[in-house]
Amino acid sequence: MINKTKIEQFLLWLFLSILAIIWIFPLFMALINSLKTNGELLTNVISFPKKLNFDNYLKTFNKMHYFRSLINTIIISSVGVSLIILFSSMAGWKLCRTKTRLASFLFSAFVFSMLIPFNSIMIPLYKIVLILNIKNSLLGFGTVYAGLGVSMAIFLYSGFVKGIPVELEEAAIIDGCNDFQVFSRIVFPLLKPITVTVCITNLLWIWNDFLLPLIVISNNKKYTLLLSTNTLFGQYSSDWTAILSALILAAIPVVVFYSIFQKEILKGISDGALKG
């Protein structure tokens, strides 16, 4: 007689395998179609290519100025994520530990701002970018992302700080540490799990964002990877094999990053979920 637990495990793995296939299938289709000619692609989308056509990638690589766009994307993502972690960790800790009406009001304001859709602030944000003269500035654009991402990060950090014993901070103060030393030496190292979570979620958001760069960046030398991909769309016709190969090229850095830091990412996310 088959054990009931084994049947449940089999059904669970079957369900998860089906979900994995559903998620992987679009990426797989993009990959095989990027290796076709345009004629093959338009004739039969779901067929395998008769001959692997790697010329699409070479052509796309040069057309979208891949390395330049990659460096631009890395700069923007690095600046945005670094500022989000720096300011949100300090703000989340201080707002959690400060028991005043002002602190509660500020925390509520940050939480409320998460509910505001981006479309409603798009035009005012663009005007602010023009006033600050940071249009087409990679560093300035990174600070825009930081401003948009701190609300969610403060909410996550604040929830995580509640699980850290306040006695640790009190002991550090008794030993002569000031607020900055308490945070940098005691609190921040304990925030590593949630910091990994904040880093990954914001990195993926900034890396894959298309609308905000489209609004703010007009200089083609400052294009991100996705903006460079958009240049492959023509007004009357589009080279779909080049577009698909560009999307694959844009996704490769994120896949490589995840492959290298997979254990740290999964551990950080699981610890952040449990302790937060």
Give residue 275's pLDDT. 53
In terms of residue numbers, what domain contains 188? 66-231
275 or 149: which leads in pLDDT: 149
In angstroms, what CA-CA distances link 180 with 36, 97, 169?
Answer: 57, 14, 11
In the predicted structure, residue 207 carries a pLDDT above the cut 70: yes
Q: What is the CATH number of the domain that holds 170?
A: 1.10.3720.10
Asked if residue 110 is part of any domain, the answer here is yes
Give the closest residue to 161 by CA, choosing from 95, 83, 85, 86: 95
Confidence of residue 76 (pLDDT cuts 50, 70, 90): very high
User: Coil, strand, or helix at residue 159?
Assistant: helix
Q: What is the pLDDT of residue 145?
A: 92
Where does the pLDDT of residue 237 fall: very low under 50, low under 70, confident under 90, or very high at 90 and above? low
On whether residue 3 sits in a domain, the answer given is no
Tokens of 108: 């509520």
Confidence of residue 1 (pLDDT cuts 50, 70, 90): very low
How far is Cα 85 from Cα 88, in angstroms, rounded to an integer? 5
> Max alpha carbon distance in the chain (Å)?
75
Are the beta carbons of 34 and 244 closer than 8 angstroms?
yes
Residue 124: CB atoms within 10 A of its CB come to 9
- Tell whether 255 is covered by a domain: no
Q: Is residue 6 part of a domain?
A: no
Average pLDDT, the chain: 84
For residue 7, tell me if it sits in a domain: no
Closest CA to 85 of 152, 133, 138, 132: 152
The answer for residues whose C-beta is within 8 angstroms of residue 48's C-beta and 6 or more apart is 32
- Is residue 211 within a helix (H) or strand (E), and if so which, with residue range? helix 211-216
> Six-digit token pair at 63?
């057309």
In the predicted model, what is the mean pLDDT of residues 73-80? 93
In which band, very low, low, confident or very high, does the pLDDT at 268 lie, cut at 50, 70 and 90?
low
- The 3-class SS string of 78-120 reads HHHHHHHHHHHHHHHHHHHHCCCHHHHHHHHHHHHHCCCCHHH
Q: Please give the pLDDT value at position 90.
A: 93
The mean-pLDDT minimum among 6-15, 215-224, 256-265 falls in: 256-265
Task: Using alpha carbons, select from 227, 188, 180 the residue that is nearest to residue 208.
Answer: 227
Structure confidence by residue, pLDDT tens digits, 141-179: 899 999 999 998 998 898 888 888 888 888 888 888 888
Contact present, 228 and 243 (Cβ < 8 Å): no
Taking the whole predicted model, whether its pTM rises above 0.85 is answered as no
- List C-alpha distances in Å: 179 to 88, 169, 183: 16, 9, 6
Helix (H) or strand (E) holding 189: helix 188-190
Asked whether residue 92 carries a pLDDT value surpassing 70, the answer given is yes
Residue 150 lies in a domain: yes
DSSP 19-66: HHHHHHHHHHHHHHHHTS-HHHHHH-TTSPPSS--THHHHHHHHHTTH
Partners of residue 137 on adjacent β-strands: none
- What's the mean pLDDT in 220-233? 85
Residues 129, 216 contacting (CB under 8 angstroms): yes
pLDDT band at 55 (very low <50, low <70, confident <90, very high): confident
Q: Is 36 part of a structural domain of the chain?
A: no
Is 101's pLDDT higher than 80? yes
Q: 193 pLDDT exceeds 80?
A: yes
pLDDT value for 150: 92
Closest CA relative to residue 203, chosen from 84, 87, 42, 120: 84
pLDDT in tens, 105-132: 998 898 888 888 888 888 888 888 889 8
CB 182 within 8 A of CB 191: no
Residue 101 covered by a domain: yes
The structural domain count of the chain equals 1
Q: How confident is the model at residue 264 (pLDDT cuts 50, 70, 90)?
A: low
